[in-house]
Structure 1
Amino acid sequence: MSTPGATAPAVGPSPDEPLPDVAPRLRELRRGRRLTLETAAARAGLSPAHLSRLETGNRQPSLPLLLALARIYGTTVSDLLGEMPPERDPIVRGGRAEPVEADGWVYRQAGNPGRAMQPLRVTVEYGAQGNLVRVHPGEEWLYVLTGRLRLALGDGVHVLEPGDSAHFDSLVPHRIAAVEPAGAELLFVHTLLQSPAGELCLDGAGLHHR
């Protein structure tokens, strides 16, 4: 599962402006994510030699390539370019959380976008998305508020009651469904997607505001 809703466009120089030296930041982020040069290059669709040249400053990345690398490292182009992000209000008021619907589920943001962890309040309608298998990088944590929830995780199936929670690696195939016609409501937290494999998840679904 991934964050529903659009993300703000990355901030950066125009194509006609020279890019600042991002080599040290690229190297720092890759090492901080504990990725080898070969692994990071493969995820970005580059050769290790090409990525090495980017990290040593012998080659300047294009903006599309910066965007791809930012997604892999779980950050933004602005961060790669050393730009200061606008200060975020740490308080998220419940009345300002506009519902977003996707395939029968209703989502409300419970945190600020762009953070490494994305918290949501989710209403799971009965019979919706029960056969959708999700596989993507990161971790997921969920806590059942109301109703009963069926979580198929790998080869196991678990029924969660109100007050139950689950925390798992989201590379493990998983399905989530409401057990009863009344549906279920849960708190949900997932880490920011860090790989193009995230396109296999809910983020690729058609979302629309209620």
Structure 2
Amino acid sequence: MNTTEDDVLAQVGPRLRALRQSRNISLAALAAETGLTASTLSRLETGKLRPTLEQLLPLARAYSVPLDDLVAAPPTGDPRIHLRPIRRGSFTVVPLTRRPGGIQAYKVIYPPATSSPPTLQTHDGYEWFYVLNGQVRLLLGDQQYQLGPGEAADFDTRTPHHLSSAGTQPAELLTLFSAQGERAHLSPLTDTDHHHEAQSCDS
């Protein structure tokens, strides 16, 4: 194997790890979805195991990305980010950063509000978001906030929380997230009686 191929394969591990962390998926959950063992996934991410096509195909399916995204790094010095929307349940996420680890930026689009009961989630990390369009409903612990365009909020994601559109139109957010944990733990919503209007962010 030549040096160029070695360099390409050396970048696969960090890319796989960044994808998993950005989606808050544990190795155990990813193993169950792909059929690969948690040990194999860990060795792929750390570069201790050279990836094969048979291993990368189920990972590309699990992450809903083209196989090329797992293997081919962007040209050195090219600042362009190729935006590829990702569906996560009922909402859409557009990654705005491509480096592994650290703070990740996303554009998030929530569909119009529904009557479905919300489910609070908790996970390690910290999140900041800015409302671009629409109305956003933020449930944080036993508090409820409604934010409109130009308003922002930040919170520790270890606090039970839920984000969704609060109106009849989609809501669009710019989100910065520091991922430090594993897969989100879901818990039922217990109290939404309190409603507070969020303060506008100082410009």
Distance 2:134 2:77 in 1: 32
Answer whether contact 1:100 1:108 (CA < 8 A) is retained: yes
What letter matches 1:181 in structure 2?
Answer: T
* TM value normalised by structure 2: 0.53
Q: As a proportion of its length, which structure holds more strand? A: 2
Distance 1:105 1:150 in 2: 14
Distance 1:123 1:161, change over 3 A: same
Answer whether contact 1:142 1:186 (CA < 8 A) is retained: yes
How many Å apart are 1:115 and its aligned residue? 2.3
Q: Counterparts in 2 of 1:82-97, with a 5 A limit?
A: 91-93=79-81, 96-97=82-83
Answer whether contact 2:122 2:184 (CA < 8 A) is retained: no
What letter matches 2:142 in structure 1?
Answer: D
Structure 1: runs of 5 or more not aligned: 1-6, 11-62, 69-75, 79-85, 202-210
Distance 1:153 1:92 in 2: 35
Q: Counterparts in 2 of 1:70-109, with a 5 A limit?
A: 77=46, 91-93=79-81, 96-109=82-95
Structure-2 residue corresponding to 1:171: 158
Verify: 1:116 aligned to 2:124, yes or no.
no
Q: Name which of 131, 136, 143 aligns with 1:144.
A: 131
RMSD value, Cα: 3.4
Distance 2:165 2:112 in 1: 5
Answer whether contact 1:130 1:177 (CA < 8 A) is retained: no
Answer whether contact 1:92 1:110 (CA < 8 A) is retained: no
SS at match of 2:39: helix
Distance 1:135 1:174 in 2: 7
Distance 1:89 1:192 in 2: 26
Distance 2:170 2:126 in 1: 24
How many Å apart are 1:132 and its aligned residue? 2.7
Q: Name which of 147, 165, 185 aligns with 1:200.
A: 185
Structure 2: runs of 5 or more not aligned: 1-13, 18-37, 48-72, 187-203
Distance 1:154 1:178, change over 3 A: same
Verify: 1:9 aligned to 2:16, yes or no.
yes
How many Å apart are 1:140 and its aligned residue? 0.5
Structure-2 residue corresponding to 1:153: 140
How many Å apart are 1:127 and its aligned residue? 3.1
1:39-94 alpha-carbon deviations (Å, 9 max, x no partner): xxxxxxxxxxxxxxxxxxxxxxxx939949xxxxxxx635xxxxxxx89757343x
Structure-2 residue corresponding to 1:190: 177
Bigger RCO of structures 1 and 2 (CA < 8 A, at least 6 apart)? 1
Structure-2 residue corresponding to 1:135: 122
SS at match of 1:8: helix
Answer whether contact 2:121 2:184 (CA < 8 A) is retained: no
Distance 1:92 1:186, change over 3 A: farther
